[in-house]
Amino acid sequence: MSPRKTARSSSITNAPHPPASRPPASRLPEPRRRQGSRTGRLLAASVAAAACLGASAVPASAATPAGSEPVVSRGVTIPAFYNPPAQLPAADGSLVRSEPLPLGLSLPGLDGRRLPGTATRLMYKSTDAGGGPVAVTGAYIEPAAAWKGDGPRPLVALASGTMGQGDQCAPSLSLQHPLTVGEGTVSIGYDNIAVYRFLAAGAAVVVTDYAGLGTTDRLHTYVNRVDEGHALLDAARAARSVTGASVTSASRVGLYGYSQGGGASASAAELQSSYAPDVNLAGTYAGAPPADLTEVMKGIDGSALAGALGWSINGFAQSDPSLKAVVDANTNDVGKAALKDTSTMCVGDAILGHGFTDSKKWTANGKPIADVIAAEPKLRAVLAQQRIGTLKPTAPVRLVTGVHDDIVGHEQARQLAVDWCRKGADVTYEAVLLPNLGDKILTNHLAPLLTDQGAAISWLTDRLSGRATSSNCWSMPMQP
């Protein structure tokens, strides 16, 4: 039995996984008069999600060493590399294994080195929110370009935006296959653009897959701030041990992330001084961070990305198995099937399979999930523990939020800047002013990622070069 099958047998519910060729169980028949509108919204959301892809498709194939049973997630074979060993090293950030990673988009250089760099697939040890050891995968890319800034070559630890919960959605796999298509699954490596821009500037990049995304021994603990923050900081540590890497403990480190990645980079910025003081943190970019999950879950409900509710619930039950009984008591058969279904989905699948679903369809009492959480002390406590903003980052942070973001709400992101400013942190807050581009279809959430990316990369590159910055916390009362 494969590790993934073992993990699935102990997941939240024993509801059968709907075959990829069938409509997911939560997609209930709708009146014909609404079908055209819903189809149009799903198409618009799918186009918005694909807008960040700047690459052609690469076939999704993965070789498995002889004697290893392959794990298959929605028709995509997960390389045996992603199966964690029974024992892990003691030290956080220690390499478990590595191998060459062919980049899906690369060119031969004049000096024989590949452009934009040479990639290595990684597995390293981290510590999860429960204090236990966890294997995390990712990728390190040594750039072909020279670093022209001050000091030794720096490192960007990049946390990807939401990719999904299926192992085939792992960011390191998307570097190899920018577009992955399987049996009912679509995954797009939209953060690859940022990776390549940092490489072009001469900065090395390490990308984390997060706990349980890619690795086949557990479910991905989606938006768990401790798991994500630790995974990102330990990726920076692991990068130093990669054969041929030019980064060292003296290299300045920048954290970069948007959406789920913005939450991960924000959490890592808070945790760095206590968890990873050996990481020479120079600055953090946190775009559209989900800092208050109680508010964010309200924005996700009924949106194109409604499937992310399933990823959140699945992930918290993975971290705390005692929550499974609470989840089971509060979900109906449709909800149980939806949680099972989303556990192997990527973003594209979730949009097409559960886009614009009202969470009332999943709950036993017919109330929205936000109301269910409000009535359950244990669930309220779980979300309270995930709040970002209770600790002070010790290095400069640039926090960006779109004023019309209705998926990862603007107000809760702005509140994070306020919370940090009150603690005396060095915060550069930027509110992205764009017109309303459509309610709940991801456009208001994705547009700032694109329009602000150049400024974000320039700001972080300046920090990696040792240039000083100053906080604009004084302007918060005037900022939207």
Question: Model confidence over 301-332: pLDDT tens digits?
Answer: 999 999 999 999 999 999 999 999 999 999 99
CB 367 within 8 A of CB 376: no
pLDDT given for residue 70 in this prediction: 79
Print the SS3 string covering the chain: CCHHHHHHHCCCCCCCCCCCCCCCCCCCCCCHHHHHHHHHHHHHHHHHHHCCCCCCCCCCCCCCCCCCCCEEECCEEECHHHCCCCCCCCCCCCEEEEEECCCCCCEECCCCCEECEEEEEEEEEEECCCCCEEEEEEEEEEECCCCCCCCCCCEEEEECCCCECCHHHCHHHHHHCCEEECCCCEEECCCHHHHHHHHHCCCEEEEEEEECCCCCCCCCCCCCHHHHHHHHHHHHHHHCCCCCCCCCCCCCEEEEEECHHHHHHHHHHHHHHHHCCCCCEEEEEEECCCCCHHHHHHHHCCCCCCHHHHHHHHHHHHHCCCHHHHHHHHECHHHHHHHHHHCCCEHHHHHHHHCCCCHHHCECCCCCHHHHHHHCHHHHHHHHHCCCCCCCCCCCEEEEEECCCCCCCHHHHHHHHHHHHHCCCCEEEEEECCCCCCCCCCHHHHHHHHHHHHHHHHHHHHHHCCCCCCCCHHHHHHCC
In tens, the pLDDT along 329-387 reads 999 999 999 999 999 999 999 999 999 999 999 999 999 999 999 999 999 999 999 99
Q: Which of 212, 237, 226, 241 is nearest to 82 (CA)?
A: 212
pLDDT given for residue 417 in this prediction: 98
Distance between first and last Cα of the chain: 54
pLDDT given for residue 110 in this prediction: 64
Q: Which amino acid is at 209?
A: D
Phi-psi region of 71 (alpha: psi -120 to 50; beta: other; left: phi over 0): beta
Q: What are the per-10-residue average pLDDT scores of the chain (480 residues)?
A: 36 33 30 37 44 35 48 94 97 98 83 84 98 98 95 97 98 95 89 97 98 97 98 98 97 98 98 98 98 96 97 96 95 98 96 96 96 94 96 98 97 98 98 96 96 98 97 97
**How large is the C-alpha radius of gyration of the chain?**
21
CB 124 within 8 A of CB 235: yes
Q: Which amino acid is at 332?
A: N
Q: Which amino acid is at 356?
A: F
pLDDT given for residue 14 in this prediction: 31
117-136 residues labelled b (16+ CB within 10 A) or e (exposed): bbbbbbbbbbbbbeeeebbb
Q: Which amino acid is at 272?
A: Q
Task: State the Cα–Cα distance between residues 110 and 113, nearest whole angstrom.
Answer: 7
pTM metric for this prediction = 0.88
